[in-house]
A and B are shown apart, each in its own frame.
Chain A
Amino acid sequence: MTSETLIWLIPLPPLLAFFLIVLFTNRNKALSHWLALIASGLSWLAGMIVFFKAVTTEGLSEHPFAQSIPWLPTGNTSLKIGIQIDPLSAVVLFFVAWTVLMIFIYSVGYHNFGQPAGKHDRKGLPPEGAEIKDKNGKIVHVPSIEPMYSRFFALISLFAFAMFLLVVTDNLLTLYVGWEIMGLCSYLLIGFWYAKESARKAMIKAFLTTRVGDVFMLLGLAALYSLTGTLNYQEILGNPAVLEQLAGALSPVLGLSWAALIGILIFIGTVGKSAQFPLHIWLPDAMEGPTPVSAMIHAATMVSAGVYLVIRFFPLLSAGWEPGGVVTTPMLVMGIIGAFTALFAATIAVAQNDVKRVLAYSTISQLGYMIAALGVGAYAAAAFHLVTHAFFKALLFLGSGSIIHGMEHGVLHTGEHIDPQNMLNMGGLRKKMPVTFWTFLIGGLALSGFPLVTAGFWSKDEILSGAFTGGNMGVFIALALAALLTAFYTARQITLTFLGQPRTKAAEHAHESKWTMTLPLVVLSVFAVGAGWSGIPADFPGLGGLIPNWFEEFVGSMLHFEPAEAVHSLVPLFTSLVVALGGLALGWVVYRRLSERVDPLEKPLGSIYTILKNKYYVDELYQATVIRPANWVANVFTYKFLDQTIIDGVLHAIARFGVWLGNGLRNIIDLPLVNGAGDTAAATTRGVGMFLRSKQSGRIQQYMVIAISLLVLAGLVIYFTVGIS
Chain B
Amino acid sequence: MIPLSWYLIAAAALFCIGLFGVLSRKNAVSILMSVELMLNAVNINLLAFWHYHTQLQGAGQITPQVFVAMVFIVAAAEVAVGLALIISAYRRRETPVVDEMTLLKG
Question: Shortest distance in angstroms between B92's beta carbon and chain A's nearest beta carbon?
Answer: 15
Contacts of B19 in A (CB 8 A): 708
Q: Is the CB of B106 within 8 A of A694?
A: yes
How many angstroms between the C-alpha atoms of A334 and B82 in the bound complex? 127
Contact of B104 among A698, A701, A705 (CB under 8 A): A698
Contact of B105 among A692, A698, A701 (CB under 8 A): A698
Known pairs A705-B23, A708-B19; A700 contacts B98 (CB<8 A): yes
How many angstroms between the C-alpha atoms of A699 and B19 in the bound complex? 16
Instruction: Beyond A699-B99, A700-B98, A705-B23, list 4 extra A-B contacts (CB 8 Å).
Output: A697-B102, A699-B102, A701-B99, A704-B22
- A695: Cβ under 8 A from any B Cβ: yes
- A696: Cβ under 8 A from any B Cβ: yes
Measured CB to CB, the nearest residue on chain B to A697 is B105
Measured CB to CB, the nearest residue on chain B to A705 is B23
Question: Shortest distance in angstroms between B44's beta carbon and chain A's nearest beta carbon?
Answer: 20
Q: How many residues of A contact B (CB 8 A)?
A: 13
Measured CB to CB, the nearest residue on chain A to B102 is A698
Contacts of B99 in A (CB 8 A): 699, 701
- A138: Cβ under 8 A from any B Cβ: no
Question: Shortest distance in angstroms between A664's beta carbon and chain B's nearest beta carbon?
Answer: 45
Question: Shortest distance in angstroms between B49's beta carbon and chain A's nearest beta carbon?
Answer: 18
Contacts of B59 in A (CB 8 A): none
Q: Mark A684-700, 1 if CB is under 8 A from B, else 0.
A: 00000000111111111
Measured CB to CB, the nearest residue on chain B to A696 is B106
B77-106 interface with A by 8 A CB criterion? 98-99, 101-106
Q: Is the CB of B106 within 8 A of A699?
A: no
Top 9 A-B pairs ranked by shortest CB distance? A696-B106, A698-B105, A698-B102, A693-B106, A698-B104, A701-B23, A705-B23, A699-B99, A697-B105
Question: Shortest distance in angstroms between A438's beta carbon and chain B's nearest beta carbon?
Answer: 122
B residues near A (Cβ < 8 Å) are: 19, 22-24, 98-99, 101-106
Question: Shortest distance in angstroms between B35's beta carbon and chain A's nearest beta carbon?
Answer: 11
Question: Shortest distance in angstroms between B63's beta carbon and chain A's nearest beta carbon?
Answer: 26
A692-720 interface with B by 8 A CB criterion? 692-701, 704-705, 708
Measured CB to CB, the nearest residue on chain B to A704 is B23
Contacts of B22 in A (CB 8 A): 701, 704
Q: Is the CB of A696 within 8 A of B105?
A: yes
Question: Shortest distance in angstroms between A608's beta carbon and chain B's nearest beta carbon?
Answer: 115
Contacts of B104 in A (CB 8 A): 696, 698
Contacts of A708 in B (CB 8 A): 19, 23
A residues near B (Cβ < 8 Å) are: 692-701, 704-705, 708
How many angstroms between the C-alpha atoms of A694 and B105 in the bound complex? 9
Question: Shortest distance in angstroms between A36's beta carbon and chain B's nearest beta carbon?
Answer: 97
How many angstroms between the C-alpha atoms of A696 and B106 in the bound complex? 5
Contacts of B102 in A (CB 8 A): 697-699
Question: Shortest distance in angstroms between A101's beta carbon and chain B's nearest beta carbon?
Answer: 106
Question: Shortest distance in angstroms between B56's beta carbon and chain A's nearest beta carbon?
Answer: 21
Question: Shortest distance in angstroms between B81's beta carbon and chain A's nearest beta carbon?
Answer: 16
How many angstroms between the C-alpha atoms of A692 and B106 in the bound complex? 8
Among A698, A704, A705, A708, the one with the most B-chain Cβ atoms within 10 Å of its Cβ is A698
How many angstroms between the C-alpha atoms of A632 and B102 in the bound complex? 92
Measured CB to CB, the nearest residue on chain A to B28 is A700
CB<8 Å pairs between A and B, sample of 30: A692-B106, A693-B106, A694-B106, A695-B106, A696-B104, A696-B105, A696-B106, A697-B102, A697-B105, A697-B106, A698-B101, A698-B102, A698-B103, A698-B104, A698-B106, A699-B98, A699-B99, A699-B102, A700-B98, A700-B101, A701-B22, A701-B23, A701-B24, A701-B98, A701-B99, A704-B22, A704-B23, A705-B23, A708-B19, A708-B23
How many angstroms between the C-alpha atoms of A695 and B102 in the bound complex? 13
Question: Shortest distance in angstroms between B61's beta carbon and chain A's nearest beta carbon?
Answer: 26
How many angstroms between the C-alpha atoms of A153 and B106 in the bound complex? 95
Among A693, A697, A701, A708, the one with the most B-chain Cβ atoms within 10 Å of its Cβ is A701
Contacts of A692 in B (CB 8 A): 106
Contacts of A693 in B (CB 8 A): 106
Question: Shortest distance in angstroms between B31's beta carbon and chain A's nearest beta carbon?
Answer: 8
Contacts of A701 in B (CB 8 A): 22-24, 98-99
Contacts of A699 in B (CB 8 A): 98-99, 102
How many angstroms between the C-alpha atoms of A467 and B99 in the bound complex? 135
Question: Shortest distance in angstroms between B33's beta carbon and chain A's nearest beta carbon?
Answer: 15
How many angstroms between the C-alpha atoms of A698 and B101 in the bound complex? 8
Contacts of B103 in A (CB 8 A): 698
How many angstroms between the C-alpha atoms of A697 and B19 in the bound complex? 20
Question: Shortest distance in angstroms between B27's beta carbon and chain A's nearest beta carbon?
Answer: 12
Question: Shortest distance in angstroms between A695's beta carbon and chain B's nearest beta carbon?
Answer: 7
How many angstroms between the C-alpha atoms of A576 and B99 in the bound complex? 140
Measured CB to CB, the nearest residue on chain A to B31 is A701
How many angstroms between the C-alpha atoms of A704 and B19 in the bound complex? 10
Question: Shortest distance in angstroms between A236's beta carbon and chain B's nearest beta carbon?
Answer: 101
How many angstroms between the C-alpha atoms of A692 and B98 in the bound complex? 22
Measured CB to CB, the nearest residue on chain B to A694 is B106
Question: Shortest distance in angstroms between A126's beta carbon and chain B's nearest beta carbon?
Answer: 97
Measured CB to CB, the nearest residue on chain A to B106 is A696
How many angstroms between the C-alpha atoms of A226 and B104 in the bound complex? 96
Measured CB to CB, the nearest residue on chain A to B24 is A701
Question: Shortest distance in angstroms between B26's beta carbon and chain A's nearest beta carbon?
Answer: 9
How many angstroms between the C-alpha atoms of A696 and B19 in the bound complex? 22
Contacts of A697 in B (CB 8 A): 102, 105-106
Among B23, B98, B103, B106, the one with the most A-chain Cβ atoms within 10 Å of its Cβ is B106
How many angstroms between the C-alpha atoms of A694 and B106 in the bound complex? 6
Measured CB to CB, the nearest residue on chain A to B26 is A701
How many angstroms between the C-alpha atoms of A701 and B19 in the bound complex? 11
Measured CB to CB, the nearest residue on chain B to A701 is B23
Among A694, A695, A697, the one with the most B-chain Cβ atoms within 10 Å of its Cβ is A697
Contacts of B98 in A (CB 8 A): 699-701
Among A695, A699, A704, the one with the most B-chain Cβ atoms within 10 Å of its Cβ is A699
Question: Shortest distance in angstroms between B96's beta carbon and chain A's nearest beta carbon?
Answer: 14
How many angstroms between the C-alpha atoms of A697 and B105 in the bound complex? 5
Measured CB to CB, the nearest residue on chain B to A690 is B106
How many angstroms between the C-alpha atoms of A335 and B5 in the bound complex? 142
Contacts of B105 in A (CB 8 A): 696-698
Measured CB to CB, the nearest residue on chain A to B99 is A699
How many angstroms between the C-alpha atoms of A699 and B103 in the bound complex? 9
Contacts of B24 in A (CB 8 A): 701
How many angstroms between the C-alpha atoms of A699 and B23 in the bound complex? 11
Contacts of A700 in B (CB 8 A): 98, 101
Measured CB to CB, the nearest residue on chain A to B104 is A698
Question: Shortest distance in angstroms between B102's beta carbon and chain A's nearest beta carbon?
Answer: 3
Contacts of A694 in B (CB 8 A): 106
Contacts of A704 in B (CB 8 A): 22-23
How many angstroms between the C-alpha atoms of A201 and B27 in the bound complex? 112
Contacts of A705 in B (CB 8 A): 23
How many angstroms between the C-alpha atoms of A704 and B21 in the bound complex? 12
Question: Shortest distance in angstroms between B8's beta carbon and chain A's nearest beta carbon?
Answer: 16
How many angstroms between the C-alpha atoms of A701 and B103 in the bound complex? 14
Question: Shortest distance in angstroms between B86's beta carbon and chain A's nearest beta carbon?
Answer: 13
